[in-house]
Amino acid sequence: EAGVTQFPSHSVIEKGQTVTLRCDPISGHDNLYWYRRVMGKEIKFLLHFVKESKQDESGMPNNRFLAERTGGTYSTLKVQPAELEDSGVYFCASSRTRQGSTEAFFGQGTRLTVV
């Protein structure tokens, strides 16, 4: 069984540019989560999809971030325009049921550097 896959693994962009991160969850997992880790700080929740619907997006930092999950399969996280403070590692996770009642599987993360 393939794990959670994230693309790209690294991205370096200039301030003001747009970047789109992609997450392919494990097949059959309805729940998909995005998290972010800014350098040296804790991993913070961004949002949670159940299939194609946003269940909780309370962790999204501002309206420069847009997450979608068309068809309830893969998800994208777009940052437009990117700012320096957006640099960090973005993790995606998926689970069959609500996270905590079963294991959540994490991807390798996308390391975003905004210069």
Partner 1 sequence: AQSVTQLDSQVPVFEEAPVELRCNYSSSVSVYLFWYVQYPNQGLQLLLKYLSGSTLVESINGFEAEFNKSQTSFHLRKPSVHISDTAEYFCAAFNTGGFKTIFGAGTRLFVKA
Binding interface with partner 1 (CB under 8 A): 3-4, 33, 35, 40-45, 48, 55-56, 59, 91, 93, 98-101, 103-109
Q: How far is the CB of 15 from partner 1 (least distance, A)?
A: 26
31 versus 114: smaller Cβ distance to partner 1: 31
Residue number with CB closer to partner 1 (55 or 113) = 55
> How far apart are CB 81 and partner 1 at their closest, in Å?
27
SS3 track for the chain: CCCCEEECCEEEECCCCCEEEEEECCCCCCEEEEEEECCCCCEEEEEEEECCEEEECCCCCCCCEEEECHHHCCEEEEECCCCHHHCEEEEEEEECCCECCECCEECCCEEEEEC
* Nearer to partner 1 among residue 57 and residue 81 (C-beta): 57
Cβ distance to partner 1 smaller for residue 64 or 111? 111
CB of 96 to partner 1, least distance (A): 13
